[in-house]
């Protein structure tokens, strides 16, 4: 497979392949927070994010969610369809935490009446600001695309909230992205991992995600390993209905 580095981000490298319509995503052990103001790394982070994303993308596909996932190539790499990405980050929240707590003045851990969908402008220099549809229209994003993003976020949440609940995890919130393939089909992209989701243990409330790194809580490597174990061990036993 001929590989040429196309893009290197904060947590992965993206390569071209022999097929012009597919890409290779290789996940790194590096981590950043607060728009790369804080940096670190830990063992097997790339393995966790790649393997969890592969398992969850495959699960979402079986539940009618179109994704860019093609196959897992090795422990730290997945192959995906090449997409023309929308400049939108889709955030879905079930429980108040992080910026939502600050925005609404809610105590962290407050269960929301219904899932909240936020659409943010994907621009690191601007800090990925939360925008409304009027802003996105000015940026050239169509109402059709915005509607797809909101529906995608809610559908992914509808599938994954019970998926994680069965594994003793509260899906507090998550961030996803979307794009169009060569045929013009819109689909889910990015990843589903402790980097992009907040996961709390249902019994203890223990945080099993990147917040442990953001907030210097320690036990980051162990938290990521625990999330990988819960997703892959139960999935391999077939309990993925």
In sequence order, the 6+-apart residues with CB closer than 8 A to the CB of 178 are 85, 86, 88, 90, 145, 148, 149, 152, 186, 187, 188, 189
Domains and CATH numbers, the chain: 5-81 (3.30.200.20), 84-222+230-236 (3.30.470.20)
Report the half-sphere exposure of 137 (CA within 13 A, side-chain side): 6
Cα–Cα distance, 116 to 131 (Å, whole number): 14
pLDDT score, position 132: 98
Pull the structure tokens for residue 157.
Answer: 């949440």
Q: Is 30 helix (H, G, I), strand (E, B) or coil?
A: strand
The confidence score (pLDDT) of residue 1 equals 53
- pLDDT reported for residue 240: 44
Over its length of 241 residues, how does the chain's per-residue pLDDT go in tens digits?
558 999 898 889 999 999 999 999 999 998 877 666 678 888 899 999 999 999 999 999 999 999 999 999 999 999 999 999 999 999 999 999 999 999 999 999 999 999 999 999 999 899 999 999 999 999 999 999 999 999 999 999 999 999 999 999 999 999 999 999 999 999 999 999 999 999 999 999 999 999 999 999 999 999 999 999 999 986 555 444 4
Residue 2 confidence (pLDDT): 57
Distance CA 224, CA 53 (A): 13
pLDDT at position 205 is: 97
Q: What is the pTM of this model?
A: 0.93
Give the list of residues 6+ apart from residue 86 with CB closer than 8 angstroms, or none.
Answer: 122, 141, 145, 149, 177, 178, 179, 180, 186
| Measured distance CA(173)–CA(20) in Å, rounded | 34
Query: CA Rg, the chain, in Å?
Result: 17
Please state the separation of Cα 115 from the chain's center in Å: 16
Residues linked to residue 160 through DSSP beta bridges, in sequence order: none
């Amino acid at each position: 497979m001929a590989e040429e580095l196309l893009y290197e981000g904060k947590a992965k490298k993206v390569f071209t392949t022999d097929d012009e319509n597919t890409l290779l995503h290789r996940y790194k052990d590096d981590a950043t927070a607060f728009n790369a103001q804080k940096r670190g790394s830990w063992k097997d982070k790339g393995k966790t994010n790649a393997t969890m994303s592969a398992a969850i993308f495959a699960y979402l596909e079986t539940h009618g969610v179109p994704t860019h996932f093609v196959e897992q190539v090795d422990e730290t790499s997945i192959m995906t369809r090449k997409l023309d990405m929308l400049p939108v980050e889709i955030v879905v929240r079930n429980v108040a935490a992080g910026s939502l707590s600050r925005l609404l003045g809610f105590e962290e851990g407050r269960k929301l009446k219904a899932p909240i969908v936020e659409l943010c402008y994907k621009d690191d220099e601007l800090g990925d600001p939360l925008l409304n549809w009027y802003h996105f229209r000015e940026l050239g994003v169509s109402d059709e695309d915005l509607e797809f993003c909101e529906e995608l976020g809610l559908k992914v949440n509808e599938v994954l909230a019970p998926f994680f609940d069965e594994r003793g995890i509260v899906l507090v919130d998550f961030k996803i992205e979307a794009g169009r393939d060569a045929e013009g089909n819109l689909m889910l992209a990015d990843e589903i991992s402790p980097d992009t989701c907040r996961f709390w243990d249902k019994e203890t409330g223990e945080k099993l995600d990147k917040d442990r790194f953001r907030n210097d809580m320690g036990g980051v490597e162990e938290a990521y390993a625990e999330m990988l174990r819960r997703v892959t061990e139960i999935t391999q036993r077939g309990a993925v209905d």
